[in-house]
């Protein structure tokens, strides 16, 4: 094929990830080479407006309508900048694959509600601004097929990480934790993937609350604290942790509301609380991964959480028989993982090929994900 | 190509229009034959939820997320039913072209807002339910190219109505009135199209208020009333009426708020008020069309308003030198017009061909409209 840009803007709102790749082939024969990667920060004013539409109380149809286009321009800028960094032109791209900003995810609808998800960041704006065909909105079709629309990266992980002799557990720690299990010598139907529970979401929220910091840099605060076992036991009793897969979670379960209640109920020293919720992330991951571990297992940790040394130590302690590595150490940049994944999915879409993993999402069938906005 | 279904669900919320057509060719050589048409009513509960998300106060991100999918199912049912009526299967369709329900249109953004539009009715749901490729979201690309995203039907009108010897004014009277001017022997760049002002929106709202009826059947109420010239003059002074094209309007200008203020300021007999706003629709159309009229001009009226006999009489009186016909009398069903237009646009998209009309929307270029959700 040629050059493509993958864009990911996650629930943690820590920036727009842009990966410029060289991609060719399709299905199992897809080849991807990372050319350049960067995370572009979201301007404070835009961030404010994203947070408005994330809230039931502050969101409204006008704000969502306008922000959809505003984020289209933000994502376009990310494409332009990553191309500039690699000294190439956006017109030379074969396509842009954009995840979009998730502003709501409703996999388990209530009365008179429908199973649904909503990503914004207008593809027509990206198409127009970058003069490139855009593939977007990857989650909806899987949900329409009975899936949860998440996780979205397993197909790309299958293409990139499958090994004949070793079981590979790909644990991403973003706002939420999610894993893809690729058993040794697996075919696509044997993949299992699901959300494990909180990733950095609670940790970050506490750092903002106690220290006006966006996150626990390197896990320093957690390292200074002591885990409160009583609170940890209560956290681990959250029904999501022991729920069987496929399962997905988000801000609905572990967002601001959750942290607010935690602070109200457990008045503790800041670092002890941060240490405990960090252990909660590690323990909930370990609890969910244990059934898949054999003697030849690699745990490959990616996402912002892979830079939290305390969290990684806790994970190693929880899983002594597993070979734990940081994704960045074995090749692809940890941060670039999801943006690269978007290009693999977008490439499949342009070839009219499926890229969901039914065993991971719970969908009935393999289906083509995404919508295409053709530039020409 | 083959069979396709076009779906239109307009701002008047009077149902989902579904047109099953046989379509072939592309660009000027597109051939369309209407096979079956029907308007399917929107269930009361769904209608309630649409009205919620149309309102700044009652809309929120969760409601919009869920309703997007709910309307996807509603539109899928319309496709299934129109195919059943024609004794065919949805799997035999080449594509579905869905306009979606407009829940917001912001062509003239305020401070910290972006020029944008928002149509919902998830294409992935329609794709999955009908086992057919879907083209959707036709307005965004035109807006990203500097256009107003409206009007959307002129390209199809050019294909269907261009005449070498006669100027044709295609006036649609839905909730809003809009016209496409096709000068005799025109090329695509010579088309002019814009919203003329209110269509049935104020009339309908008054019928609901005074009579708990959805509309003025045949114009009977208006026929019994007397036009108040003072009020008419005030209405005609609305800045939108004399604004130069391209221009678009909607509920923002002539919706519930407008009618509420009208009722408060002008306490009159019900039928006199209905007669006056009906004349307002006729006069605002006439005022906007006058510059384009020559000795060989046809005014072809379509939309729900074409069945309002009083409104048609008023239009004829306003434009004595024009040959006024109802679209239904010259071929295509008046109601089916916009749904058929969607199939012409969708067909262009699937051929990677443009279908906006820059002279109508104000866009800088001819661009490919829409997003494609491939079934296979």
Could you tell me how many residues make up chain A?
376
* A16-24 vs A31-40, strand pairing mode: antiparallel
CA torsion through residues B78, B345, B107, B200, sign:
negative
Per-residue pLDDT at A334 exceeds 80: no
- Chain B, window 174-193: residues with a beta carbon less than 8 angstroms from a chain A beta carbon: none
- The DSSP line for B353-373 is -----HHHH--SS-----EEE
Contacts with A257 (C-beta within 8 Å, 6 or more apart), sequence order = none
The class that CATH gives domain B2-151+336-373 is alpha beta
Pick from B14, B8, B11: nearest CA to B213: B14
Averaged pLDDT for residues B337-345? 95
Nearest CB to A69; choose among B60, B61, B114: B114
Per-residue pLDDT at A62 exceeds 70: yes
Contacts with B136 (C-beta within 8 Å, 6 or more apart), sequence order = A371, B97, B98, B99, B100, B119, B121, B123, B126, B370, B371, B373
Strand partners, B326: B301
Q: Which residues of A touch B68 (CB under 8 A)?
A: 116, 118
DSSP state of A212: S
C-alpha to C-alpha distance for B190 and B183, rounded to whole angstroms: 7
In angstroms, the separation between the Cα of residue B212 and the nearest Cα of chain A is: 27
Cross-chain Cβ contact A124/B144 below 8 Å: yes
Give the number of other CB atoms < 10 A from CB of residue A272: 18
* A192-198 vs B31-40, strand pairing mode: unpaired
In angstroms, the separation between the Cα of residue B367 and the nearest Cα of chain A is: 8
Taking 3-state DSSP, the helix, strand and coil percentages for chain A, each rounded to the nearest 5, stand at 45, 20, 35
% residues pLDDT > 90 (chain A): 87
Per-residue pLDDT at A333 exceeds 80: no
Cross-chain Cβ contact B57/A57 below 8 Å: no
Predicted confidence band of residue B331 (pLDDT cuts 50, 70, 90): low
Runs of H (alpha helix) within B86-228: 123-130, 140-144, 154-161, 201-211, 220-224
Averaged pLDDT for residues B128-156? 95
Structure tokens at A239: 């029904």
Count the alpha carbons within 13 Å of B231 in the hemisphere toward its beta carbon: 22
Q: What is the per-residue pLDDT for B146?
A: 96
Q: What is the count of residue pairs from A and B with beta carbons less than 8 Å apart?
A: 164
Matching fold, domains B2-151+336-373 and B156-321: yes
**Contact status of B44 with chain A (Cβ, < 8 Å):** no
Q: What is the per-residue pLDDT for A332?
A: 67
Nearest CB to A106; choose among B66, B106, B372: B66
In angstroms, the separation between the Cα of residue B127 and the nearest Cα of chain A is: 8
Q: What is the per-residue pLDDT for A335?
A: 77
Alpha carbon distances (Å) from A26 to A20, A355, A373, B262:
18, 10, 20, 61
CA A124 to chain CA centroid, Å, is 23
- Chain B, window 90-129: residues with a beta carbon less than 8 angstroms from a chain A beta carbon: 103-106, 109, 112-118, 122-125, 127-129
Q: Is the ipTM of this complex over 0.90?
A: no
* B323-326 vs B297-302, strand pairing mode: parallel
Best residue in B128, B348, B352, B365 for a mutation probing chain A (most A CBs within 10 Å): B128
Predicted confidence band of residue A370 (pLDDT cuts 50, 70, 90): very high
B41 burial class (0-12, 13-18, 19+ CB within 10 angstroms)?
A: exposed
C-alpha to C-alpha distance for B144 and A129, rounded to whole angstroms: 8
Pick from B322, B346, B352: nearest CA to B155: B346
Domain residue extents for chain A:
2-151+336-373, 156-321
Count the alpha carbons within 13 Å of A202 in the hemisphere toward its beta carbon: 29
**Structure confidence by residue, pLDDT tens digits, A10-20:** 888 989 999 99
Alpha carbon distances (Å) from B44 to A109, B11, B104, B204:
20, 16, 21, 17
Q: What is the 3-state secondary structure (H, E, C) of A278-327?
A: HHHHHHHHHHHHHHHCCCCEEEEEECHHHHCHHHHHHHHHHCCCCEEEEH
Q: What is the per-residue pLDDT for B327?
A: 85
Alpha carbon distances (Å) from A235 to A53, A144, B302:
28, 33, 63
Q: What is the per-residue pLDDT for A331?
A: 67
Averaged pLDDT for residues A252-269? 95
Per-residue pLDDT at B332 exceeds 80: no
C-alpha to C-alpha distance for B80 and B181, rounded to whole angstroms: 35
% residues pLDDT > 70 (chain B): 99
When mean pLDDT is compared across A95-104, A138-147, A367-376, B299-308, the lowest value belongs to B299-308
The residue among B132 and A304 whose pLDDT is bigger is B132
Question: CATH assignment of B156-321?
Answer: 3.30.420.40
**Structure confidence by residue, pLDDT tens digits, B167-211:** 999 999 999 999 999 999 998 889 998 999 999 999 999 999 999
When mean pLDDT is compared across A78-82, B233-237, B301-305, the lowest value belongs to B301-305
The residue among A18 and A108 whose pLDDT is bigger is A18
Strand partners, A178: A172, A195
Alpha carbon distances (Å) from B72 to A76, A275, B13, B46, B127:
28, 45, 15, 12, 9
**Structure confidence by residue, pLDDT tens digits, B53-103:** 999 999 999 999 999 999 999 999 999 999 999 999 999 999 999 999 999
């Amino acid at each position: 094929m040629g050059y493509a840009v993958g864009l990911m803007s996650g629930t943690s709102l820590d920036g727009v990830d842009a990966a410029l790749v060289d991609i060719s082939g399709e299905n199992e024969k897809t080849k991807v080479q990372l050319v350049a990667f960067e995370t572009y920060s979201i301007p404070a004013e835009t961030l404010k407006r994203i947070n408005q539409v994330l809230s039931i109380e502050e969101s409204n149809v006008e704000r969502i309508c306008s922000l959809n286009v505003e984020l289209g321009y933000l994502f376009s800028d990310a494409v332009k900048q990553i191309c500039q960094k690699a000294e190439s032109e956006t017109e030379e791209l074969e396509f842009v694959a954009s995840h979009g900003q998730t502003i709501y995810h409703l996999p388990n609808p209530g009365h008179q509600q429908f199973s649904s998800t909503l990503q914004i960041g207008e593809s027509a704006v990206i198409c127009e601004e970058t003069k490139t065909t855009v593939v977007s909105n990857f989650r909806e079709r899987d949900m329409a097929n009975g899936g949860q629309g998440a996780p979205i990266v397993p197909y790309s992980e299958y293409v990139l990480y499958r090994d004949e002799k070793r079981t590979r557990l790909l644990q991403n720690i973003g706002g939420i934790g999610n894993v893809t299990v690729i058993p040794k010598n697996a075919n696509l139907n044997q993949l299992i993937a699901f959300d494990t529970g909180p990733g950095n979401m609670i940790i970050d929220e506490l750092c903002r609350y106690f220290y006006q910091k966006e996150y626990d840099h390197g896990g320093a605060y957690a390292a200074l604290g002591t885990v409160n076992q009583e609170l940890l036991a209560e956290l681990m009793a959250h029904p999501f942790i022991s729920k069987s897969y496929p399962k997905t979670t988000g801000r609905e379960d572990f967002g601001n509301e959750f942290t607010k209640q935690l602070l109200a109920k457990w008045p503790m020293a800041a670092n002890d609380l941060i240490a405990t919720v960090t252990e909660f992330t590690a323990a909930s991951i370990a609890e969910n991964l244990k059934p898949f571990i054999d003697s030849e297992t690699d745990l490959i940790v990616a996402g912002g959480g892979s830079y939290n040394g305390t969290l990684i130590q806790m994970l190693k302690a929880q899983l002594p028989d597993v070979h734990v590595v940081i994704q960045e150490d074995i090749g692809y940049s940890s941060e670039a993982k999801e943006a690269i994944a978007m290009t693999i999915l977008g490439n499949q879409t342009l070839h009219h090929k499926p890229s969901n993993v039914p065993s991971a999402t719970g969908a009935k069938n393999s289906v083509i994900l995404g919508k295409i906005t053709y530039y020409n």
